[in-house]
Structure 1
Amino acid sequence: MPTTSLLDRFLDGLTPLRPRAVWAHGSLAGGDYQEGRSDLDLIAVLPGPVGLGTVRRVVALHRRLRTVPLAAKLHCSYLTPAGLDDPDRSHLTWAHGQVMRRPVTPVTRRELHDFGRVLHGEPPAGLLPAVPERQLNDFVVRDQRDYWRPAVDKARLWRQDVWVDLGLLTFARATVTLRDGRLISKREALDELVPLGAPAELVADITRRRYDDHPAPAAEDWLTRRAELTRAYLAPAIDTLVTTYG
């Protein structure tokens, strides 16, 4: 299985950095992983400060993996024990073929506690502080209000599959988290969308592209209509969610 082979090579290459733990979150841990379509979302906890030498070794590791199948979908944030308790702190991250810095959000932290998959070393509960409900909910509301709602007004984005998929699925997942106090997978989020008032044809479109073996490319007129439907649904839906839980 290409995924298993890639993870084995990644963990082997990470050995010289002496990680205390390597965890998977997202679909790989949550039971909705689609090989070749889903990202491989990982967290590595290194034993000490991440200096320039460590950055160079991390970059070299990911560059060595570039020719391995699925490597482009492997994303990993590198934490240290000193930074585990701060969800706003940015960490060295390899994603989308480049090095960057970004935080490990309260949603990711809760995923790790609820269903994180241990690939190496200590479990999340032994290293990562618990996520209070208020902290999780505040983050979810802020993400919908400050990131997704302004994005809805940028019409050019919504002709792209990734914006339609993530916009709708993230909204459904946010709603369930705020309403029920639990995290759900993208597969479960699809089942929530129609009851939440999303147009059934949008949900069918996402389902087809995520789960059909060979989905046909979308026609130009559908891309235009899909963008209009998505924006018309999400704008008031997000506004109502933020008003209700903000």
Structure 2
Amino acid sequence: MGAETEPFRAVPAEVRPYLAELVRRTRAVCGPGLTGVVAVGSLALGDYRHGRSDVDVTVLVPGPPPAAVLRELADALDHRRLPCPAAGLELVVYAADFARRPSGAAGYLLDLNTGAHLPGRAAFGPDGGPSFWYAIDRAVAHQSGLALYGPPAAEVIAAPRAADLHAALRASVREHGDGTGHLADNRVLNGCRAVAYCRTGRWLAKRDAARQLAATEGHFRPLIEAAVHSFERPRTAALPLPAAQVREFLGWARARVDEHAPAADA
């Protein structure tokens, strides 16, 4: 990789060759105008767990590029053509001008999910689904994103405004409270991360946020510790958690997020 070696030293060895090839293919498809490729999510927060975590990547392009370029990129990175060693790849492409502006909108040009443990998805522009995932991911990227290609993440990806980010956090906790399509341990840990962010103003890795809350919230400590224990297992071996306790915790987490609304909206 030559001069490109240095950025990849910050990512786990299990996914380093994959990410290097992902960047190579993205550059080949997008051409010299490519603005950046940034590792986000658990990779950025230093809590990637092989067999459990996804590989989360944000791509920034001068845009919007021709639709054929986005389709070619989705095809080049499809798990069937570039096998993902992690649970899956979640890759989002934004126009660079959009990513530099604070926004709570979804705003993507391509949302690609592919991998052994992810339902396949390639959406070419917002499709009316929830937008909070994208706002939160951009906030994490602005704080901690790892630039695999291009300038530092904070220079090219803006965090949403406080009011938009608070709305995204509320929507996230509400969705995890509903529980559809999410592992119970991940629901609890996402709730921990939302509360920890409201208390500290920093994005923590899920397990770090969980340990912080377990130390202060004795009533929920057994549930949180059980969620961490389950999260440390492969995704296919996640443990069941008491449904009523999970609902109670997420109701509590939503109330804690709501308490921060005045400061967030100021």
How many positions carry a matched residue from both structures? 231
Q: Give the Å deviation of 1:5.
A: 1.4
CA distance in 1, matches of 2:237, 2:159: 43
**Distance in structure 1 (CA, Å) of the matches to 2:48 and 2:87:** 16
Q: TM-score, normalised by structure 2?
A: 0.74
Q: Distance in 1 between matches of 2:77 and 2:236?
A: 30
CA offsets 1:39-81 (integer angstroms, 9 cap, x no match):
1110001122133212220221123654524265111101112
1:209 maps to 2:219: no
Query: Matches of 2:135 and 2:82 in 1, distance apart?
Result: 33
CA shift, 1:27, in A, is: 0.8
Residue 8 of structure 2 corresponds to which residue in structure 1?
none
Unaligned runs of 5+ in 2: 1-12, 262-266
| Residue in structure 2 matched with residue 226 of structure 1 by the alignment | 242
1:27/1:33 contact within 8 Å kept: yes
Can you give the 5+ residue segments of structure 1 that lack an aligned partner in the other structure? none
More helix by share: 1
Name the aligned partner's letter for residue 93 of structure 1.
Answer: D
Which residue, 150, 159, 165 being the options, matches 1:136?
165
Q: How does 1:83-102 map to 2 (within 5 A)?
A: 83-84=98-99, 85=101, 86-91=103-108, 92-95=110-113, 96=118, 97-100=120-123, 101-102=125-126
1:78 to 93, 105, 113: 93
Residues in 2 aligned to 1:125 and 1:33: alpha-carbon distance in whole angstroms: 21
Find the counterpart in structure 1 of residue 151 from structure 2. 122
Matched, 1:172 2:195: no
Pairing partner for 1:31 from 37, 46, 49: 46
| Mapped contact 1:77–1:94 kept (Cα < 8 A) | yes
For residue 8 of structure 1, the aligned residue among 7, 16, 20 is 20
Q: Distance in 2 between matches of 1:144 and 1:209?
A: 19
Aligned pairs (5 A) from 1:188-207: 188-194=208-214, 195-197=216-218, 199-207=220-228
Instruction: Say if 2:51 and 2:234, in contact at 8 Å, map to a contact too.
Output: no
TM-score scaled by structure 1?
Answer: 0.80
Task: Give yes or no for contact 2:58–2:94 (8 Å, CA) kept in 1.
Answer: yes
Letter in structure 1 aligned against 2:189:
L
* 1:92-146 Cα distance to aligned partner (Å, 9 max, x none): 110132202455633222211211101001222322334433432333234334x
Flag the 1:90–1:70 CA change in 2: closer, same or farther, 3 A. same
Percent of aligned pairs with the same amino acid? 23
Q: Which among 74, 81, 88 is matched to residue 59 of structure 1?
A: 74
Kindly state the Cα deviation for residue 13 of structure 1 after the two structures are TM-superposed. Answer: 1.0
Q: For 2:63, what is the secondary structure of its paired residue?
A: coil
Show CA shifts across 1:81-100 (max 9, x none): 23222430431110132202
